[in-house]
Chain A
Amino acid sequence: MLFRSEPSTANRPVGRRHLVAAILVSLCLVAILAATMPYARTPTRNTEMVLPAYAAATFLLEVITSALLFALYNVRRSAPLLFLASGYLFSALLVPAWVLTFPGVFSAWGIEPGLQTTAAIAAVRRLSFPLFVLGFALAPAQRGLRLGGRAMVAPTILGVLALAAGILLAILSHTEILPTFMRDGRHVDTLWRYVPMLALLLYGAGIAVLFARRRSQLDIWVCLVLFSLMIEILLISYLGGAIRLSVGWWAGRLYGLAAASIILLVLLSETTAVYARLSRTVAAERRARQNRLIAMEALSASIAHEINQPLASMVTNADAALRWLVRPEPRLDRAEAALRRIVDDGHRANKVVSGIRTMFMKGTQERCALDLNALAEDAVRAASTEAREEGIAIETDLAGDLPPVIGNAVQLHQVLSNLIENGIDAVKSTAERGRRLVVRTRWEANGEVQATVEDNGPGIDPEVAGRIFDPFVSTKPSGMGMGLMFCRTVIEAHGGRQWASANFPRGAVFHFALPAAILPGSDVELEP
């Protein structure tokens, strides 16, 4: 699955980088061509012995390229790849026959076929490859085409094998009626002139179609292949004077070799890159899973502590109440106080549990258009009793023109409550007069709705400033370190941002921003 989603040469769009690389390589090829030109017609002696090595190299390169392309087709299931793979396979299959029949190479073994055989095979190979490439260029690339299917690989290979065998058989068994391409072992006849012309035409057509379409990086590299083949044929048939085993002829052969290697090199480097990416992804996933596991362990330990604490307090209070009651002179007031604390502890434990539920349970995905002002007012009202008891004033400064936001009411309410509660805890720890909290909402020019909770408490300790939104980081004695982490998780899940800053002259400001459901300046009203 991972592999499939990985973009590769065969379907990645053409990037500037690849285009530039391909053009640079073709310029190099032209430069080498220019350098060879003056010596192109010089004949070489006794170079026939190199020919089998050249043929073996070409054969292997083309077979491996075709195997890789068939493998790629198995993954991608795109018809063009099938054409290209077949082209390479067909071309490769003709190579052994070509070199075996080459005049003077294997004469020691007694192989001495007719003069025209090698040329006929060369002509078929020369003209068939660009036809396959044209098939590659013109075949529709859409998936879902009925050509897609694993079963297509075997029939295609069998078909190509049969075609190659049939053509070779025809040529070898009817050597006498073959067209006269060659005058002698080294020089071509006039009829041969049409072969390179036709080949050049086909190469040109292939390059034109591929370059015009440029569906993927592979197209660009195939263009380069055709370009190399063009230079090959120019060297062999025109500059080299169509003389076999001349310097130009050999230089052309080298271009042929280059042409055969281009796609192979591209595919191999692609494969290596894919494997590297794959192993990196796997390692990263394993790390992430490990981290999640550690976080879950720490989280459950923290939750256990957070619930155990009120439980311990409840048990102790209940024990104390019983003891106050069974004394010789029962102290009802003390027993009552202990029972009241049990009630408080029960609520506290419940708060922990419902906090966890808001954070993890179902229903948190339900979203609707919300008025943040109303949520803020609710949260302030809920906190006002505690604030009054502590002598803390909570002021509100809510924007009148606030657009709605899309979100989950329970979660956003919890976020505001957490921030207000944090603010109360912060100012509670200062003894100074004028302890207060300000809750503001604003509509920002960038289309975000922003809410802030300002306190004039001691401010954020610079030591933990960078980590306050991390889990289990708390500056409060009984803090679980989950509140701000929860807030940020919720806000980010709503497509918003959350951050903290310093208040002036002292204290902290906690901000969060959510995307507005309508754009600023638009007068579209949502249903209330």
Chain B
Amino acid sequence: MSEQSVVYVVDDDRSILASLESLLSSEGHAVQTFESGPAFLAAKRLDLPACLVLDVRLRGASGLEFQRELVLRGIMTPVVFITGHGDVPMSVAAMKAGAIEFLLKPYRDQDLLDAVHNGIEQDRRRRAQDSRMAELRERYGAMTPREREIMPLVASGLMNKQIATILQLSEVTVKVHRAQIMHKLRARTLADLVRIADRIATDTAEA
């Protein structure tokens, strides 16, 4: 497990850092500890599924501000908050900003471990999705402009003949393009193609 994931802990209290490091590594997690937010940002982070355990009360910027900073920088690592004095508005703000858990000190070890586990799984799923998406983007990028033009028409269920009429091409040309599209996107059936086209459309819409 330790090789496939990592847990980052950011807390300005050294003794809390040491205790968390010990607890998490007793469960086989690889742990990296930081005494401040900037130290975390400056460090070279591993390219692994990860979870960030963050103290709300940090020197300088608070944990909540640091969470916003992470979002701004596009760091998508799930955050588990720990705090000595949590109130409802604070936890709501943290959860809204995408934290997966908000634990009050002293927390039960199992709660923390579960939260960290969930965080890592969430990150793993996100990373897998990201890598699939990246692959799709690569395949999409390999297509010619003409193929990109024809793909949505094929996906919308039009016959070759209809596409040929719309684009004023010969039916044979459309057929060749269609085969290229299926090959480049590694779609075996029309249903595959529809699904891939859908995801690409969502992705480009988001971007």
Pick the contact of B107: A310, A312, A348 (CB < 8 A). Answer: A312
Cα-based distance from A319 to B26 in the complex (angstroms): 10
Name the segment of B17-25, B145-153, B156-164 touching the other chain: B17-25
CB distance from B43 to the nearest CB of A (A): 18
Name the segment of B8-16, B64-72, B94-102, B130-138 touching the other chain: B8-16
The answer to whether B22 and A324 have CB atoms under 8 Å apart is yes
Cα-based distance from A488 to B18 in the complex (angstroms): 34
Counting CB contacts under 8 A, is B206 at the interface?
no
Which residues of the partner chain A approach B58 to less than 8 Å between Cβ atoms?
A: 477
Whether A312 contacts B84 in the complex (CB less than 8 A), given A317-B19, A338-B22, comes out as: yes
Counting CB contacts under 8 A, is B35 at the interface?
yes
The answer to whether A477 and B16 have CB atoms under 8 Å apart is no
Name the segment of A106-114, A134-142, A259-267, A300-308 touching the other chain: A300-308
- What total of chain A residues lie within 8 Å of the partner, measured CB to CB? 30
Pick the contact of A334: B15, B22, B106 (CB < 8 A). Answer: B22
The answer to whether B22 and A345 have CB atoms under 8 Å apart is no
The answer to whether B85 and A316 have CB atoms under 8 Å apart is no
Which residues of the partner chain A approach B12 to less than 8 Å between Cβ atoms?
A: 477-478
Cα-based distance from A344 to B13 in the complex (angstroms): 13
Whether A308 contacts B105 in the complex (CB less than 8 A), given A301-B85, A313-B16, comes out as: yes
The answer to whether A324 and B106 have CB atoms under 8 Å apart is no
CB distance from A510 to the nearest CB of B (A): 21
Counting CB contacts under 8 A, is B3 at the interface?
no
Pick the contact of B16: A301, A312, A321, A476 (CB < 8 A). Answer: A312
Identify the closest chain A residue to B112 (Cβ).
A316
For window 266-313 of A, CB contacts with B under 8 Å fall at 301, 304-305, 308-313
Cα-based distance from A321 to B18 in the complex (angstroms): 12
CB distance from B39 to the nearest CB of A (A): 12
Cα-based distance from A312 to B20 in the complex (angstroms): 10
Pick the contact of B109: A309, A316, A348, A478 (CB < 8 A). Answer: A316
Counting CB contacts under 8 A, is B47 at the interface?
no
CB distance from B11 to the nearest CB of A (A): 9
The answer to whether B15 and A344 have CB atoms under 8 Å apart is yes
Which residues of the partner chain A approach B126 to less than 8 Å between Cβ atoms?
A: none
Cα-based distance from A320 to B113 in the complex (angstroms): 11
Identify the closest chain B residue to A326 (Cβ).
B26
Counting CB contacts under 8 A, is A315 at the interface?
yes
CB distance from A70 to the nearest CB of B (A): 60
Cα-based distance from A338 to B25 in the complex (angstroms): 12
The answer to whether B85 and A341 have CB atoms under 8 Å apart is no
Identify the closest chain B residue to A307 (Cβ).
B84
Pick the contact of A348: B15, B20, B36, B57 (CB < 8 A). Answer: B15
Which residues of the partner chain B approach A197 to less than 8 Å between Cβ atoms?
A: none
The answer to whether A305 and B26 have CB atoms under 8 Å apart is no
Counting CB contacts under 8 A, is B125 at the interface?
no
Cα-based distance from A313 to B12 in the complex (angstroms): 12
Which residues of the partner chain A approach B45 to less than 8 Å between Cβ atoms?
A: none
Pick the contact of B15: A301, A308, A320, A341 (CB < 8 A). Answer: A341
Counting CB contacts under 8 A, is A45 at the interface?
no
Cα-based distance from A313 to B14 in the complex (angstroms): 9
Counting CB contacts under 8 A, is A323 at the interface?
yes
Identify the closest chain A residue to B59 (Cβ).
A477
Cα-based distance from A309 to B46 in the complex (angstroms): 29
Which residues of the partner chain B approach A338 to less than 8 Å between Cβ atoms?
A: 19, 22
Counting CB contacts under 8 A, is A56 at the interface?
no
Whether A323 contacts B109 in the complex (CB less than 8 A), given A309-B16, A310-B15, comes out as: yes
Whether A305 contacts B59 in the complex (CB less than 8 A), given A313-B19, A316-B20, comes out as: no
Cα-based distance from A304 to B13 in the complex (angstroms): 15
Pick the contact of A320: B13, B19, B105, B106 (CB < 8 A). Answer: B19
The answer to whether B26 and A316 have CB atoms under 8 Å apart is no
The answer to whether A324 and B105 have CB atoms under 8 Å apart is no
Cα-based distance from A320 to B35 in the complex (angstroms): 20
Identify the closest chain A residue to B82 (Cβ).
A312
Which residues of the partner chain B approach A317 to less than 8 Å between Cβ atoms?
A: 18-19, 22-23
Sample of 10 more A-B contacts, CB < 8 Å, known A311-B106, A338-B19: A308-B85, A309-B13, A309-B15, A312-B19, A313-B15, A313-B16, A317-B19, A319-B23, A341-B15, A477-B59
8 closest A-B pairs by CB: A312-B105, A319-B109, A477-B12, A316-B19, A323-B26, A320-B22, A320-B23, A315-B106
21 example contacts (A-B, Cβ-Cβ < 8 A) are as follows: A301-B85, A305-B84, A308-B105, A309-B13, A309-B105, A312-B82, A312-B105, A312-B107, A313-B19, A315-B106, A316-B19, A316-B112, A317-B19, A317-B22, A320-B26, A327-B26, A348-B15, A477-B12, A477-B59, A478-B12, A478-B14
